[in-house]
Amino acid sequence: MASKSSSSQTMTILLLGLLILLAFAVFLFNEKSEVAVPQKSQEEMMIEEQGTSDNVSEIEKDINATNFDSVDSDFGTVESEVNTGY
Amino acid sequence: MKALLPALAIFLVLGLTSPAAAKGQTSTPSASSEARQKVVENRKNSLTSFMQRKIKVLNAHVNRLEKISDRVQSKIDTLKEKGADTTKAQAQLDTTKSKIIQARADVLKLENEFPQIISSNEPKVAFQILKTRMQAVKRELVDIRTNLSSSLGLVKGLSESTEGEKDKDGE
C-alpha cells in the first residue's frame, strides 16, 4: 500500500516537472519570436517615407527630396574620437 | 666610514636588482599597456555601434530608391497599356534597377565584412577603410538617383505626348 502511494507521488512530481519545463519552453519561444522582428528606427522610417502615387510630378517630388547627407553626416565626430591620442 | 662604503655599494646593487625592484620597473609599462588596450577596445565597440547604425541607414536609402523605381515602373506599365512606346524608358529603368541590386549587394558585403575590418585593425585605420567603403556606396546611391531622374524624364515626355496624361499629372 505504501509502495503504491510512493509511486503515485513520484508520478505527480514527474508530471509537475514536465509541466514546468513545458511552460519554460513556451516562454522562451515567445521571447525569441518577439526579438526576431527588429523595429525600424525613426531615422530609417524618415528616409524611407514617400508617396505611393505613380503620378509623374509626385515621383519627381520624392526624387528631389532624396538626399544622402545622413550617410556621412557624423563622420567627423567619429573620426576625431578614433584619432584622439592615448 | 671606509668600511661601510663597500657594504653600502652591495646593498644598492642588491636593492636595484632584487625581484621587488624589477617588479616595480615593469609594472608601469604593463599597466599603461592594459589601459591602452582598454581604450582601443572601447573605440572598437563604439565603431561597431556606429557601423551597425550606418548599415541600417544605407539599407533604408536603398529601400527608398527601390520604392521610387517601383513607382516609375508602374507609370511605364500604365503608359504602355495606353499604347506609348516605352522601350527607351524601360531600358533606362532596367539599368537603374540593376544598379539598385548592386548597391544592395555592396551594403550587405560591407555589413558582413565590417566586424572583421574593425577587429583586425587599429580603430583609426579601420575607420578610414570603412569611411572609404561607405563613401563608395554613397556614390552608387547618388548615381541611382541620377538614373531615376533620367528615367522619369523619359516617362514625363511620354506622359505629356499621351492624351489626358498632362491633365492627370497636373502639369
Query: Which residue among A59, A72, A83 sits closest to B152, beta carbon to beta carbon?
Result: A59
Please choose, from the candidates B54, B84, B97, B93, the residue with its C-alpha nearest in 3D space to the C-alpha of residue B160.
Answer: B84
Tell me the one-letter amino acid at A34: E
Classify A36 as helix, strand or coil: coil
A39-43, A73-77, A80-84: least confidently modelled range: A80-84
Parse chain B into domains and list their residue ranges: 38-161
| Cα angle: B102, vertex B108, B112; to 5 degrees | 145
Chain B residues closer than 8 Å to A68 by CB: 61, 138, 141-142, 145
Q: What is the mean pLDDT of residues A53-76?
A: 94
Q: What is the dihedral of CA B7, B9, B11, B13, to 10 degrees?
A: -150
Alpha carbon distance B78, A19 (integer Å): 60
pTM: 0.72
Is ipTM over 0.95?
A: no
A33 vs chain B: nearest CA distance in angstroms? 21
Higher model confidence: residue A57 or residue A39?
A57
Long-range contacts of A2-8 (CB under 8 A, 24+ apart): none
Contact B61, B141 (CB under 8 A): yes
Cell numbers given for B52: 551597425
Chain A residues closer than 8 Å to B36 by CB: 86
Query: Which residue among B64, B123, B169 sits closest to A66, beta carbon to beta carbon?
Result: B64
Contact A68, B61 (CB under 8 A): yes
Chain B residues closer than 8 Å to A62 by CB: 68, 71
pLDDT in tens, B9-61: 555 455 444 554 444 445 567 778 888 888 888 899 999 999 999 999 999 99
B124 vs chain A: nearest CA distance in angstroms? 5
Task: Give the pLDDT confidence score for residue A81 in this predicted structure.
Answer: 85
B63 vs A48: CB contact, 8 Å cut-off?
A: yes
A56 vs B64: CB contact, 8 Å cut-off?
A: no
Q: Confidence class of residue B170 from pLDDT cuts 50, 70 and 90? A: very low
Alpha carbon distance A51, B138 (integer Å): 23
Chain A within 8 Å of B123 (Cβ-Cβ)?
Answer: yes
Task: Give the pLDDT confidence score for residue A85 in this predicted structure.
Answer: 56
Helix residue ranges, H only, A36-68 = 42-48, 56-64
Does 1.10.3470 match the CATH number of domain B38-161?
no
Please provide the distance, in angstroms rounded to a whole number, between the alpha carbons at the two ends of chain A: 78
Q: What is the mean pLDDT of residues B135-153?
A: 97
